[in-house]
């Protein structure tokens, strides 16, 4: 069987000017930005279109911005008859995937994302940390060097993105030590990421503790299509399981490479990256060159379909 897969980007895909062309061209985009302003209590469109970049990079703003951009493109794709048979999202992107799967409404998911962004930014202040990409080492080696760097504080693999690209997350000193050890073991590159905290690590426990109540109160339905969860890389459709996995996701690693491999094994024959940027399409090429990926985040890309 052939299947259309939607993949939704997470943090770091934002850019000043994002979704502006969609806002100008489509009433639907203007409508969703207006709803977002009401829910968030500030003019998200203004920050997305005009920046400044420093403000757009704040987790509490970045997350709603990427989510809204992705939701607009998803809705516009549906209008063109392009609908997913399965979906996945990288970290924050999991919320966009759940909206695409009918498990959450746009408004409900945005309310949760608003709290998630705020709490993760807060957690980064309470327990400061950082993240770094390690390029060119395998999973066992990265696990070993994290264990060794653990003398300097908490550090663990946070994103298994694609072969030879693993992101680690934790206390600043421990991440710096892990980067040093990685270079000593022959890593091609180590790159510290511009983030406001140690996402997908135990340093997010402040956010995770409070997100439990937020998710408990959220209206979540069974998904109409399988959504492949970050925490397990497996398809999920039951509301109770979705709620639990979203909660666990905050301090557990994102199993992205395995997620994509499982989607392909389950029949995905084309991937659309729905929202800003092209990060996930790049990862797809490294995971499996045979399966085509398309980015759909701008009016031009929509028109080319």
User: Which residues are 190's β-sheet partners?
Assistant: 134
* Active site annotation includes 200: yes
CB contact at 8 A, 119 and 37: no
Q: Are 246 and 215 in contact (CB under 8 A)?
A: yes
| Residue among 184, 35, 177, 18 at smallest CA distance from 99 | 35
Output the CA torsion 242→243→244→250 (10° steps): 100
- The number of helices, as runs of H, and strands, as runs of E, in the chain is 14, 10
In sequence order, what are the residues at sequence separation of 6 or more whose Cβ sits closer than 8 angstroms to the Cβ of residue 266? 3, 86, 226, 235
Catalytic residue among 200, 201, 206, 251: 200
Backbone angles phi, psi at 8, to 5 degrees: -115, 130
Nearest-CA neighbor of 68 among 116, 114, 25, 27? 114
Beta partners for 4? 270
Helix (H) or strand (E) holding 169: strand 165-170
Question: Of 13, 91, 169, 201, which residue is the catalytic one?
Answer: 91
* Backbone dihedral region for residue 69 (phi beyond 0: left; psi -120 to 50: alpha; all else: beta): alpha
User: Which positions are catalytic?
Assistant: 91, 200
């Amino acid at each position: 069987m052939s299947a259309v897969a939607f993949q939704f980007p997470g943090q770091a895909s934002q850019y000043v000017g994002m979704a502006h062309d969609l806002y100008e061209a489509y009433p639907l985009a203007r409508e969703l930005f207006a709803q977002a302003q009401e829910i968030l209590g500030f003019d998200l469109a203004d920050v997305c279109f005009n920046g400044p970049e420093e403000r757009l990079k704040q987790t509490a703003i970045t997350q709603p911005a990427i989510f809204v951009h992705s939701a607009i493109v998803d809705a516009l794709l549906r209008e063109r008859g392009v609908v997913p048979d399965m979906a996945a999202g990288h970290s924050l992107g999991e919320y966009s995937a759940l909206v695409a799967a009918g498990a959450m409404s746009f408004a409900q998911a945005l309310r949760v994302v608003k709290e998630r962004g705020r709490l993760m930014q807060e957690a980064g202040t309470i327990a400061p940390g950082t993240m770094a990409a390690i390029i060119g080492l395998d999973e066992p080696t990265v696990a070993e060097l994290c264990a060794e760097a653990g003398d300097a504080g908490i550090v663990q693999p946070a994103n298994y993105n694609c072969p030879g690209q693993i992101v680690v997350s934790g206390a600043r000193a421990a991440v710096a030590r892990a980067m040093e050890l990685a270079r000593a073991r022959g890593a091609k590159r180590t790159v510290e990421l511009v983030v406001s905290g140690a996402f997908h690590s135990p340093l997010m426990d402040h956010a995770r503790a409070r997100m439990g109540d937020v998710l408990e109160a959220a209206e979540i339905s069974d998904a109409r299509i399988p959504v492949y969860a970050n925490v397990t890389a497996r398809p999920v459709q039951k509301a109770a399981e979705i709620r639990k996995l979203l909660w666990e996701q905050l301090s557990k690693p994102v199993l992205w490479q395995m997620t994509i491999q499982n989607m392909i094994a389950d029949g995905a024959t084309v991937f659309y990256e729905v929202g800003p940027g092209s990060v996930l399409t790049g990862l797809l090429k490294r995971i499996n060159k045979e399966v085509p990926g398309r980015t759909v985040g701008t009016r031009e890309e929509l028109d080319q379909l």
